Chain A
Amino acid sequence: MLFNLRKRTFEGGIHVEDYKELTDSQPIEVLNPGEKVVIPLHQHFGAPAEPLVKKGDEVKVGQKIGEGKARFSAHVHSSVSGRVKAIDYYNHPSGQFALSVIIENDGEYTPFEEEKEIKDPFSLSPEQIIEKVKEAGIVGMGGAAFPTFIKLNPPPDKPIDTIIINGCECEPFLNADNRLMIEHPEDILRGAVLIKIATGAERIIIGIEDNKSDAIKIMESHAKDFPFTEVIPLKTKYPQGAEKNLIYALLKRQVPAGGLPFDVGVVVQNVATAKAIWEALSKGKPLYERVVTVTGQGIKEPKNLLVRVGTLLKELIDFCGGLKEDTKMIVMGGPMMGVAQWSLDVPVIKATSGIIALTYIPKDHEQPCIRCGRCAEHCPMGLIPNQLMRLTKFGEIEEADKWGILNCVECGCCGFVCPANIPLVHWIRTGKNKVSLLRKQK
């Protein structure tokens, strides 16, 4: 239909070749870890969890091994059964070393508690749902890893009317969410209903980019059985899945700068998170495994894998046929926002949506800014990246704050289009840190 051609979207952003075809029709395969499993205690936004086990302890699948005590934190659970070999600093996907529980996997996968069918999770009260989500250590699985129980618990003066289930997966290469929607639509929708109950919202919208036509079809056919639930296809444009841009595209509401989706009556959850919520509440299963897309031109057999948290990258890559000789970079996450890895001796964490092996390194030959304005034209947050870069460079930190530097979501559109190859995101990150520091000092 003609009037359907103008799909909902936001302003700015970029069109990127998506390379989704490498794995979009690969069914999710199960990969169990090898002998050593490394579970970092810091896999989420906020403070690290504190270890509950010590060297030599026996642990079982789903046993809580780290407790998130701070206000912003999350519990961590064992993904295997076996003996704790050490609690020590280990390579972390962020590039630093993080305190981790290193477990010798006995390969038995003995559950900590027998999975118990909860008769009717839908009859739980909002408080019970939030408590169980917190207990299951669920965090946002789209990449930011924000503790989910906080997102389900808006302040009382901020009523929620709409739940958005984010099925955009706008990062190129990734298909983890796409495959989940195709293979487990019911679980996602049931999880969405639980989120609706927890927050008291009236309706559920599932936003999916229109390059995932299979997922849209399947989700639409299942959504029919759920009241007040609709699937809305969105234009394929990066970063369509960025929270604030997604809310704007679907509802034309602008989350105020520095604010949260609560402020406009919305809660956004990723499809994988919704599924995790359903599993936690229906089976008492904490978050200890997730789907990871292993792909890129450097991977011999790209696949979508269901992997236990703590499995080392090397095992994922070996399972996918190994690396091609010309692999230059390994990125955890999507290529636009993911973190480059220097080693394969790094564990999968709750936020690992993909492992991408790239056979090239983007040009890093930096030239002076010619103020062409492409960065500003494509910035989904309406910022002027080249100005933010300049202000940071010259130490004009207060001015950078005024120009809205803290609103940058680091989506990478500016760096993608910059003809001078300036690492704009890197400069803006530096500037954001300096602004935050300055604000704290005041």
Chain B
Amino acid sequence: MNQKEERIFTIRSSPHLKDKESIPRIMYTVVISLLPPVIASIYFFGYRALAIIITSVISCLFTEGIILLIRKKPINFLWDGSAIITGVLLALTLPPSLSLDLVFIGGVIAIGIGKQAFGGLGYNIFNPALVGRAFLQTAFPVAMTTWTPTIIQKVDIATFATPLGNLKFNQAIIKGTLTPLKELFWGNVGGCIGETSAIALLIGGLILFWRKCIDWRIPAGIISTLFVFTGVFWLINPEKYASPVFHLLAGGVLLGAIFMATDMVTSPITPLGNWIYAIGIGLFIGIIRLFGGLPEGVMFSILFMNAFVPLLNQFTRPRYFGEMKK
């Protein structure tokens, strides 16, 4: 054997082919799918919304970078897109009037406590953006529930409320001041900057579904459960309870069901687990909205069910090929 032939080739474990998919590719697909709600938020809430989104993303990247340095992890993890998603998602769940320093604090908590404290990407139990929001809501309850109308709305700012606040605290059904469904669909209503426009969220959801970045069972399970739950009460007493369609379009249900609950890391890995998880979220949203002290319950419902994910995984193992029923 001559010298030239004696080269040693790379050895590695099979398979020796790989498709083009990668974590950054998935993450940036999610970022792209977030563009419709981002654009809608800027359209309805103006530069204020843009400022919140930019602050939140910078805060998340900054925190992620610092902690990666401290943990001596490769700094290029910063650009895998996951911190950007957390930043955008956190921003979309904040009220338009929130001061930017609070937004920044939210980002630090989201990444620092919600993600990196658990070991970074892939290891967190709770949705990081919602952890950030939960902290802000608990620490700054007044700032987090001060609502302003959209920049194209003509309403009295002093008595302004979100559609759900209006429903819960102002007897909107009896007074006949319930927000029209058409407004809820397009998004010209008060609320967190990213949750108001149903159409923008649905477009984002379609992108995610088409690119296989979400499990369809989760939004389907949440939406149908909430629909049935609120529908039953509405049929019993439409004077007191709003219609199921109103409940789906108002508040953060679509944002939560499409973008938050579907977070791959914090949702179950089994099909049955995903159904139980989604139905649980839908039920808790309905219970909090109809009987709880808060007008809205999406955030707590998702965080609550996040906690059950390891348990759900363990007890919902699917039947594998050739497994016989015992």
Q: Taking the complex as formed, is B15 at the interface, i.e. its CB lies under 8 A from any CB of chain A?
A: yes
In the docked arrangement, what's the CA distance between A248 and B322, Å? 10
Q: Is B270 an interface residue (CB 8 A)?
A: yes
How many residues of chain A have a CB within 8 Å of chain B? 70
Q: Which of B15, B212, B323 contacts A404 (CB 8 A)?
A: B323
Do B23 and A340 touch across chains, with their CB atoms under 8 A apart? no
Instruction: Tell me whether A363 and B18 are in contact in the complex, defined as CB-CB below 8 angstroms, given that A342-B11, A370-B121 are known contacts.
Output: yes
Q: How far is the CA of A204 from the CA of B180 in the complex (A)?
A: 67
**Is B18 in contact with A407, judged by CB distance below 8 angstroms?**
no
Contact B321 A172 (CB under 8 A): no
Verify A419–B317 contact, CB threshold 8 A: no
B21 within 8 A of A: yes
Q: What string of 1s and 0s marks CB contacts (under 8 Å) between B114-131 and chain A?
A: 000000111100000000
Query: Are B121 and A368 in contact, with the CB atoms below 8 A?
Result: yes
Contact indicator A372/B26 (Cβ below 8 Å): yes
Kindly identify, within residues 244 to 295 of chain A, every residue whose CB is under 8 Å from any CB belonging to chain B.
Answer: 244, 248, 254-259
A381 in contact with B321 (CB, 8 Å) = yes
* With contact pairs A336-B15, A412-B15 given, residues A257 and B324 touching in the complex (Cβ less than 8 Å): yes
Q: Are A421 and B18 within 8 A (Cβ)? A: yes
Which of B21, B120, B269, B270 makes the CB contact (< 8 A) with A419?
B21
Nearest CB on A from B253, distance (A): 23
B154 within 8 A of A: no
| Stretch from A98-106, A114-122, A324-332 at the B interface | A324-332
B15 engages A335 (CB within 8 Å): yes
Contact (Cβ within 8 A) A344 B5: yes
Contacts A343-B8, A371-B269, A423-B13; A380 near B122 (Cβ below 8 A):
no
User: Closest CB-CB distance, B221 to chain A, in whole Å?
Assistant: 15
* Nearest A-chain residue to B268, judged by Cβ: A371
The digit string for A398-432, where 1 denotes a CB below 8 A from any CB of B, is 00001110010010110111111101011001000
**Hey, what's the 0/1 contact readout for A378-402 against B, CB within 8 Å counting as 1?**
0011111011000000000000001
Chain A residues contacting B324 (CB-CB under 8 Å) are 256-257
Interface residues of B in 85-117 (CB under 8 A from A): none
Flag if B14 contacts A420 (CB, 8 Å): no
User: What bracket does the count of chain B residues touching chain A fall in?
Assistant: 35 or more
- A248: B residues at CB distance < 8 A: 321
Q: Which residues of A contact B138 (CB under 8 A)?
A: none
Minimum CB–CB distance for A231 against chain B, Å:
25
- Contact A373 B264, CB 8 Å, known A341-B11, A343-B8, A403-B317: yes
Give the CA-CA distance A368 to B1 in the complex, in Å. 43
Q: Is the beta-carbon distance between A382 and B318 smaller than 8 angstroms?
A: yes
| Chain B residues within an 8 Å CB radius of A403 | 317, 320
Interface residues of B in 260-285 (CB under 8 A from A): 264-265, 267, 269-270
Residues of chain B within 8 A (CB-CB) of A383 are 320-321
> Which of chain B's residues have a CB closer than 8 A to the CB of A363?
18, 22
Q: Are A314 and B16 in contact (CB under 8 A)?
A: no
Contact present for B321 and A370 (CB under 8 Å): no
- Mask of B38-75 contacts with A, CB within 8 angstroms, 1/0: 00000000000000000000000000000000000000
Flag if A381 contacts B9 (CB, 8 Å): no
**Does residue B156 face the partner (Cβ distance < 8 Å to A)?**
no
Say yes or no: is B215 at the interface (Cβ < 8 Å to chain A). yes
Q: Of B1, B18, B319, which contacts A416 at CB under 8 A?
A: B18
Which residues from chain A contact B1 at a C-beta distance below 8 Å?
314, 345
Q: Which of A170-199 contact B (CB under 8 A)?
A: 172
Cα distance A376–B318 when bound, in Å? 10
Of B9, B270, B313, B321, the contact of A407 (CB 8 Å cutoff): B321
A314, A361, A373: the one contacting B215 at CB < 8 Å is A373
Q: Is the CB of B320 within 8 A of A257?
A: yes
Query: Which residues from chain B contact A358 at a C-beta distance below 8 Å?
Result: 16
Chain B residues with CB under 8 Å of A330's CB are 9
Cα–Cα distance between A423 and B265 once the two chains are bound (Å): 19
Instruction: Check if A147 is an interface residue, CB within 8 A of chain B.
Output: no
B86 to chain A, nearest CB (A): 13
CB-nearest residue of chain A relative to B122? Answer: A368
B22 touches A340 (CB 8 A): no
- Give Cα A337 to B321, complex, Å: 20
CB within 8 Å of B: which of A292-318? 314
Q: Mark B215-241, 1 if CB is under 8 A from A, else 0.
A: 100000000000000000000000000
A416: which B residues are within 8 A, CB to CB? 15, 17-19
B12 sits at the interface (CB 8 A):
yes
Chosen A-B contacts, 9 in total, with CB atoms closer than 8 Å, are A340-B14, A362-B12, A362-B17, A367-B77, A368-B123, A371-B269, A407-B322, A417-B19, A420-B22
Which residues of A pack against B, CB within 8 Å?
14, 16, 95, 172, 244, 248, 254-259, 314, 327-331, 335-345, 356, 358, 361-364, 367-374, 376-377, 380-384, 386-387, 402-404, 407, 410, 412-413, 415-421, 423, 425-426, 429
